[in-house]
Amino acid sequence: MNISQASSDAEVVDAVRAWVEDNVPRAWRDAARAGGVDGIRAVRSRGEYEEWYPAFAKAGLVVPTWPVAYGGLDFSPAMARLVENELRPFNLGRLNPLGLNLCAPALFAHGTEEQRLRFLPPIVRNEEVWCQLFSEPGAGSDLASLATRAERDPDHWGDTWFVTGQKVWTTWAHIADYGVLLARTDADVPKRQGITYFLIDLHQPGVDVRPLRHITGEIDFNEVFLDRAVVPDPQRVGDVGEGWKVANATLSGERQMVSGAGSGGVDRIGGRGVEHVLELARAHGVDPVLRQELMGVYCEERIRAWTNRRVRGGPLSSLGKVHQGSLNQRMQLLAVELLGAGALAWDGPDLVPEVKGMLRSRANTIEGGTTEVNKNILGERVLGLPREPDAYEGAPWREVPRS
């Protein structure tokens, strides 16, 4: 049975199992059944997975809840969970997560049908990799104060925008083809009213990507300099000046993506999950106090996974983001503690994975909006508490002091 024709739970499970047997390489299946995720990593390189990935996308299994026209199967969330349960043992992670979780929500909520048909299928197939051009050196937590500007020039190449400014902390810009971009198009209105949302091609003159190296040595973040980079008006999402509303769809998707187990996106940024920590505990032994800490972390993980299943975007996505930041940091510290002296000295030039995960997890309370920003969102937009006082509320952007 073709997976798209499955209509009952049993048919979905049978169809996915048959697809796995027919399409997932035998060596990967055997390794998964014998050694789990570690077994798969031993026999499958990143390059091999990327080469095989189009078969995954063609089946619609990358995004089973999306409409068929955009590369999905039009499954209900319940059916999609059945799919995930069958695929999970084979560690078939989604490539291009920023396209799937940051760009796509904005296109679904505010894009045109032409934009969705143009950009979503290549995102699913990992043919066009995406990044997010939001934060700036003077506009991080207060993102709405951003200064990158987009100016229209109808006399030059038709209806075209020219973008000038600087972005920073841009994850994977050095490997991206496109970026979702916020730019100021009107400086004479309040800051949230003068922003417009664009889709920008990064392979053009006027785009300069400069890597920023992590404490752990690798490169994920970048700063991006824009000097009259071109964006055709058909790559504007939403109305001019309505970019803040469009951006909320992207920000909500980002927060849900990094919210941890059960979020449906990147499961965890910075280290491995609680199952790995428990494996370390079994191997190294624990005292009663440490055992209690482990059980606390395990219980929090389960609760968060169940909570995340109930969240479908919007302000509530900040709930998992706030929890993820502190919980994952505590979890990675536990992993390092369990290693004991092995976390201080090791053979070879590379960091022990648990140490690398612990160092990377320090960013969890900052990325995707700081914990403080997300708590404000929960207080104001979920609990209905009054907004924080703002002496410049309603003032034109150009009159508001900036760092």
| Domain count along the chain | 3
Per the domain annotation, does 158 fall within a domain?
A: yes
Handedness of CA 316, 98, 48, 116 (dihedral sign): positive
Asked if 109 and 56 sit in the same domain, the reply is no
What would the two tokens of residue 184 be? 């100021």
Mutual orientation of helices 9-23 and 77-87 as an angle, nearest 10°?
40
Same domain, 271 and 350: yes
What's the CA gap between 278 and 374, in Å, rounded?
Answer: 30
User: What does the block give as tokens for 49?
Assistant: 């997975």
Structural tokens at position 125: 């197939």
Secondary structure letter of residue 389 according to DSSP: P
Q: Token pair 């109930």 is at which residue?
A: 310
Specify the CATH number for the domain of residue 355: 1.20.140.10
Say if residue 89 is in the same domain as residue 122: no
Kindly state whether residue 340 falls inside one of the protein's structural domains.
yes
Alpha-carbon distance of 309 to 15, in angstroms, equals: 24
Whether residues 231 and 313 fall in one domain? no
Give dist(CA 354, CA 342) in Å, integer: 10
- Which residues are identified as catalytic? 254
Beta-strand ranges (E) seen in 119-243 are 130-133, 149-152, 160-167, 178-184, 195-201, 207-213, 219-232, 236-237
114 and 236, same domain (yes or no): yes
Assess whether 124 and 238 both reside in one domain.
Answer: yes
Do residues 235 and 119 share a domain? yes
Residues 111 and 237 in one domain: yes
Segments of 299-347 assigned E as strands: none
What is the rounded CA–CA span in Å between residue 133 and residue 158? 25
Same domain? For 374 and 308 the reply is yes
Strand 178-184 relative to strand 195-201: parallel, antiparallel, unpaired? antiparallel
pLDDT tens track for 237-293: 999 999 999 999 998 888 777 776 544 334 446 788 898 999 999 999 899 999 999
Q: Domain limits at 349?
A: 258-382
Provide the whole-model pTM.
0.89
Query: Which is more confidently placed, 211 or 351?
Result: 211
Segment (H or E) for 267: none
Tell me: the pLDDT tens digits for 340-399?
988 888 888 888 989 989 998 888 888 878 899 999 999 999 999 998 888 888 999 999
Q: What percent of the chain has pLDDT over 70?
A: 96
Show which of 38, 60, 93 is a domain's final residue: 93
pLDDT at residue 267, rounded to an integer: 43
Neighbours of 249 (CB within 10 A): 24
Q: Are residues 57 and 171 in the same domain?
A: no
The CATH number assigned to the domain holding 175 equals: 2.40.110.10
122-143 pLDDT per residue, tens: 999 999 999 999 999 999 888 9
Statement to judge: residues 227 and 276 lie in one domain: no
Q: Is residue 305 part of a domain?
A: yes
Tell me if residue 242 falls in helix, strand or coil.
strand
In this structure, the strands spanning 130-133 and 149-152 are unpaired
The residue length of the chain stands at 403
Say if CB 218 and CB 211 are below 8 A apart.
no
Query: pLDDT for 148-181, tens place per residue?
Result: 999 998 676 668 999 999 999 999 999 999 999 9
Q: CA angle, 375 as apex, 140 and 100 as ends, to 5°?
A: 65
Claim to verify: residue 233 and residue 295 sit in the same structural domain: no
